[in-house]
């Protein structure tokens, strides 16, 4: 990988799930997924973008932890997906990266996503 990734103790030895150690709580992923099912995409497009990205980010972080890796770089998460999960197509990896970019714009630049942006991100 690269200097943004630390090698941990190995698959299955990462310890209990919890924030801060590069591990996630499966309940939070499930909670976010339930929220995504009920929230209005028209009224809360920015929250939907953030929600989808957080689900993907938390899932990839957990997979990396299971493989003994830890990173704080969201770009590395996308690279990890591309490198270690060839069953994901290039367009799916690009979607994850697009969600990452949009989430950063929302969180750090005050960007307000719209339903149109959300549809464009999903590809239609």
Mean pLDDT of the chain: 76
Number of domains within the chain: 1
Q: How high is the pLDDT of residue 84?
A: 93
Residue 1 lies in a domain: no
Cross-strand bridge partners of residue 7: 69
Q: Tell me, what's the pLDDT at 87?
A: 95
- Whether residue 3 is contained in a domain is answered as no
Asked if residue 53 belongs to a domain, the reply is yes
Give the structural domain span for 61: 8-122
Q: How many CA atoms lie within 13 A of 111 on its CB side?
A: 18
Cβ proximity of 107 and 113 under 8 Å: no
Q: Is residue 2 part of a domain?
A: no
Q: What is the pLDDT of residues 72-113, one digit of tens each?
A: 888 899 999 999 999 999 999 999 998 888 888 887 777 777
Q: Which long-range contacts (CB under 8 A, 24 or more apart) does 96-99 make?
A: 96/53, 96/56, 99/49, 99/52, 99/53, 99/56
**69 - beta bridge partners?**
7
């Amino acid at each position: 990988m690269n200097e943004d990734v630390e090698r941990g103790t190995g698959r299955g030895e990462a310890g209990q799930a919890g924030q801060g150690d590069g591990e996630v709580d499966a309940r939070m992923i499930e909670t976010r997924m339930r929220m995504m099912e009920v929230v209005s995409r028209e009224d809360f497009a920015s929250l939907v973008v953030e929600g989808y990205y957080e689900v993907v980010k938390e899932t990839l972080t957990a997979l990396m932890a299971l493989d003994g890796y830890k990173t704080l770089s969201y770009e590395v998460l996308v690279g990890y997906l591309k490198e270690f999960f060839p069953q994901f197509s290039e367009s799916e990896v690009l979607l994850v990266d697009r969600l990452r970019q949009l989430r950063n714009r929302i969180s750090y630049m005050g960007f307000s996503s719209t339903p149109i942006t959300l549809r464009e991100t999903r590809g239609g």
